[in-house]
Structure 1
Amino acid sequence: MGEYKIVDGYPQNPIGRTGIVGRGVLGRWGPNHAADPIVTRWKRLDSGDIETDSSNKPILQFVAIRRRDSGEWALPGGMVDPGEKVATAALREFQEEALNSFAMTNDEKSAVLQRFNTFFSQADEVYKGYVDDWRNTDNAWMETVAFNFHDEPGTTVGMLKLHAGDDAVGVRWVDITPDLQLYASHGSIIREVYKRHISKPATNKHVRSL
């Protein structure tokens, strides 16, 4: 968000007052930086063809996790560590929350990283800036960078078994629909991703399930 004001020694929320003074439950005063990976694929029938909705539009899916703190479905994102690149944080958070990398052996982690290297190097930045979050206060707030990683043929991440881990108690592929309800401002970010993909023709390739 750029520069923000300091008043009486405290950073001021650049969007305005929230009604809550102090740092609240956030880890840092001022901006708290997060990374949100949006991993998408086309929903496919058993035949391998892309499934369409009642309007004959291809159905786009994304990986969602159920948050441990609120029970809401959300993007598998998290906080960026000091000195960490945002894109690196996005990959780390996806592995921790959607694949439960903490439970993997070193060999399993190496195999996943090898498979992901090319896929996660092709990121489309969808959003960068302030996000509406229940944890925001007058003096501490959330900012995020959201990246879309799209598996067009569905043969990379699209075929992996998902396992909830870290701050997640559930994980699944979710259809993007007009009535989709998600945690905080994640819904508006997902709608932007959907708009970008639906404007381009999907590649209706047949894929083989593993």
Structure 2
Amino acid sequence: MNQTRYTADVVAVDPDGRVLLIQRRWEPFTGQWALPGGHVDPGETSLDAAVRELEEETGVKVAWSDLTRLGTWNAAGRDPRGRYSTDAYLVRVPAGTIARADDDAAAIRWADLATAARTSLAFDHADILRAAIRAL
């Protein structure tokens, strides 16, 4: 049985045009930079999962009502673990937002959004960043 797993990812952007990235603690892509995000738990919406994962991985708290849906990414092969479909969201955070690495994140960093979209990120996260740039 080839079950599709459901995830949510968050593009958190500050007023200076920087995006919050996490360094992955676990496989796949251990040590690579990625967007905060993760599995949608039973009973959750992807919005709920996006808010929860952002807080768990970075300590940044946002309301689901502040998230704007960017789209769904579900191309075959986007995740080496199998078939995954992710809903990606954009959220604007205030200047001076403090983030810290926690849970699945080994480290965090604020990166220039345009530069990050041109770099090699885990999964298809650079594609998601390019969609965020178009939405902004």
Shorter-chain TM-score above 0.5:
yes
Displacement of 1:123: 1.8
TM-score by length of 2: 0.86
**Cα deviations by residue, 1:124-176 (Å, 9 ceiling, x for unpaired):** 1112141411222xxxx11110010123xx3xxx3222110001100111112
* Counterpart position of 1:62: 19
Q: Which 4+ residue blocks in structure 1 deviate beyond 3 angstroms? A: none
Higher strand share: 2
Q: Which TM-score applies when normalising by structure 1?
A: 0.57
Match of 2:129 in 1: 190
* 3-state SS of paired residue (2:110): strand
Match of residue 130 from structure 1: 74
Out of 124, 127, 150, which is 2:92 matched to?
150
- Residue identity opposite 2:18 in structure 1: Q
- Structure 1 residue 32: Cα displacement: 0.5
Alpha-carbon separation, structure 2, partners of 1:64 and 1:97: 10
Paired residues of 2:70 and 2:135 also in contact (CA < 8 A): no
1:181 to 102, 115, 120: 120
Once the two structures are superposed, what CA deviation does each residue of 1:68-106 show, in whole Å capped at 9, x if it has no partner?
12100001100000111110110100000011xxxxxxx
The residue identity in structure 2 corresponding to 1:169 is: A
| In 1: Cα distance, 2:50 partner to 2:13 partner | 14
Map of 1:164 onto structure 2: 101
Instruction: Give the superposed CA RMSD.
Output: 1.7
- Mapped to 2, the partners of 1:179 and 1:32 lie a distance apart of 27
Instruction: Give the 3-state SS of the residue equivalent to 1:34 in structure 2.
Output: strand
Task: Name the amino acid aligned to 2:133.
Answer: Y
Any unmatched runs of 5+ in structure 2?
none
Query: Which consecutive residues of structure 1, in runs of 5 or more, have no partner in the other structure?
Result: 1-9, 12-29, 44-59, 100-111, 198-210
Larger radius of gyration: 1
Q: CA–CA distance in 2 between the matches of 1:128 and 1:189?
A: 9
Map of 1:35 onto structure 2: 8
How many residue pairs get aligned? The number is 129
Verify the 8 A CA contact 2:10 2:35 in the aligned structure 1: yes
Secondary structure, in 3 states, of the residue corresponding to 2:66? coil
Shift of residue 41 of structure 1?
1.7
